[in-house]
Amino acid sequence: MITLKSNLEGKIAVITGGGGILCGSIAKGLAKEGVKTAILDLSLDKARSVAEEILNKGGNAIAIKCDVLNKEEVQSAKEKVIEKYGRCDILINGAGGNHPKGTTTKEIFELSDLQKENRELITFFDLEIEGFEFVFNLNFLGTFLVSQVFLKEMVNHENTTIINISSMSAFSPMTKVPAYSAAKAAVSNFTYWLAVHFAKVGIRVNAIAPGFFLTEQNKNLLIQKDGTPTERYKKIIDHTPLGRLGVPEDLLGTVLWLCDENASGFVTGTVIPIDGGFMAYSGV
């Protein structure tokens, strides 16, 4: 039977990257629905800030420092969650980001770029393996490792679910950020694989693919030092039918729906765009 009433009261959610703008907003939104939230972040201060805001509003949350690429820390985080809450019902893999060493200066390569008259110019040929490794490891291997550790506990409970954070760049790679685009494509593909692999034990695995949202990580690409929008920002708005950037709250409705087995119990193996129509628009 379809119901509009949330079925999330008392659920336990673990959110990596929970101290960030987008996942912090998701954590707060889940907490309003009665979800007990474990905020995992590389920065304990950021995790505490989100957890304290939830607690101050009558919610239930804990902050845990966790490097998603350190298996011992992930295992320790899981043990703290189990000790505090007894289980994990919802895992949101939100830790991710980009790195300057995986980013080109220009959108399109030109032969004149090889002359390197501009020493600050970073072409495809200047990209460093360390930058690619950092971006790929953080976005994909961090998702893999956290899923591996927490799923071992989640398989013992009914109605558990995973939501990965992919990107619209996984569908159509953005210029300048080849490492990030490739890593998010891997996250999407891994989402499909996990959904099939764990379907028989009742675990649903989906992903959301945010479009363009203003965060600390992409701020320099979208906003100039004087506060005015960059040409990239203007291009994004021109190609977004809804005519604006996303705000963190735009992700919440889809996340709540995916978390609630009463509303989305037959949904698994999907990557859902939340992009203001960006992918649907051909530009003409």
- Name all domains of the chain by residue range, CATH numbers in brackets: 12-100+139-211+246-272 (3.40.50.720)
Confidence at 5, pLDDT banded by 50, 70, 90:
low
Task: Of 64-73, 109-118, 239-248, give the lowest mean pLDDT range.
Answer: 109-118
Q: Residue 187 CA to chain centroid, in angstroms?
A: 10
- pLDDT for 214: 80
Residues 160 and 89: beta-carbon distance below 8 Å: yes
Token couple for 162 = 């995973």
Based on DSSP, count helices (H) and strands (E) in the chain, helices before strands. 10, 7
Taking the C-alpha atoms of residue 98 and residue 41, their distance in angstroms, rounded to an integer, is 16
pLDDT tens digit sequence for 161-196 = 999 999 999 999 999 999 999 999 999 999 999 999
CA pseudo-torsion sign 50, 47, 100, 251: negative
- pLDDT for 283: 84
Token couple for 161 = 């679910």
**Average pLDDT of every residue of the chain:** 93
Taking the C-alpha atoms of residue 40 and residue 15, their distance in angstroms, rounded to an integer, is 6
Residues 123 and 113: beta-carbon distance below 8 Å: yes
pLDDT tens digit sequence for 223-256 = 888 888 888 889 899 999 999 999 999 999 999 9
**More confident call, 189 vs 117:** 189
180 is catalytic: yes
What is the pTM for the complete model shown? Answer: 0.94
The active-site residue out of 180, 192, 233, 281 is 180
- The residues, any chain, with a CB within 8 Å of residue 201's CB and separated by 6 or more, are 155
Given a cut of 60, whether residue 3 has pLDDT beyond it is: no
